[in-house]
Amino acid sequence: MSTDSTLLAVRWAQVRGRVDDACRAAGRDPAAVSILPVSKTFDAGVIRAATTLGLRRFGENKVQEIRDKSPLLADCDIRWVLIGHLQTNKAKEVARLVDEVQSLDRLELAEVLHRRLQQEGRAIDVLVQVKTSSEESKFGLPPAQLPALLDALRHFDTLRVRGLMTLATQSTDAAVVRGCFRRLRELRDEALAQGHALPRLSMGMSGDFALAIAEGATEVRIGSAIFGGRAAPQSA
């Protein structure tokens, strides 16, 4: 899979423009919302082309893809962000390769990651993934369990908790989708009142990022709108 650098630049500018427009429509400063390019299923050549635009953070769903791509891009100073569901048996590779995990959703995973990171002598940023959708297929920590997990994470100095992440319900009803994002913001505000510094809200993808921005997203995760159509039936 290859991507023309000029076309990639055009797509990136278009996506940035759409995000900026959504910020202004919500009465927010466009500088307050970043874009995480989601490079899952795209090969190292596509990612290398994206780095010529100044992009350095890339989101991946699977640790295996990061493992396969990172040696080919070792000269590009890339920060890999894991956004997909993470099994504990992948913690060793995460501790070695990944700069940020946005899908931390249980204490058991935190404990295993912490031990592996101690062995590597590293610390990483993490976001707690909360399930604000009623869909069975969605992963994430039940909202009622968030306060206890945040308290427990204070004891893991290798895990720098920076915020929360969620996936909204797949629905044509904007009110339902927006409600998922609003719930995450409310949970963040409740956590702030309990003394947890959580500046980041990662929520919103290609089809719903404007709603997420209206509800306070600080980062949106965009894939195919930047990189083009995927060979595999996945979307971000």
Per-residue pLDDT of the chain (236 residues; tens, 9 = 90+): 445 789 999 999 999 999 999 999 999 999 999 999 999 999 999 999 999 999 999 999 999 999 999 999 999 999 999 999 999 999 999 999 999 999 999 999 999 999 999 999 999 999 999 999 999 889 999 999 999 999 999 999 999 999 999 999 999 999 999 999 999 999 999 999 999 999 999 999 999 999 999 999 999 999 989 998 766 444 44
Alpha helices of the chain — where are they, by DSSP H?
A: 5-25, 44-51, 63-69, 91-97, 107-120, 146-153, 174-193, 209-214, 224-227
Among the listed residues 161, 153, 198, 207, the one whose alpha carbon sits nearest the alpha carbon of residue 180: 207
CA dihedral 39, 40, 43, 44 (to 10 degrees): 50
Burial zone of 169 (CB within 10 Å; 0-12 exposed, 13-18 middle, 19+ buried): middle
User: What is the SS3 assignment for 64?
Assistant: helix
The neighbouring-strand residues paired with 124 are 159
CA pair distance 147, 152, nearest whole angstrom: 9
The pLDDT score that the predictor gives to residue 3 is 56
| pLDDT, position 144 | 98
Q: Which value, in Å, is the radius of gyration of the alpha carbons in the chain?
A: 17
Q: What is the pLDDT of residue 4?
A: 78
Helices 146-153, 174-193: crossing angle, 10 deg rounding = 50
- The pLDDT value recorded for residue 228 is 87
| Cα separation, 99 vs 35, whole angstroms | 16
Residue 130 DSSP label: B
| CATH code for the domain defined by 5-227 | 3.20.20.10
**Helix (H/G/I), strand (E/B), else coil: 60:** strand
pLDDT at residue 231, rounded to an integer: 60
Closest CA to 168 of 158, 179, 152: 179
Q: Which of 78, 101, 71 is nearest to 88 (CA)?
A: 101
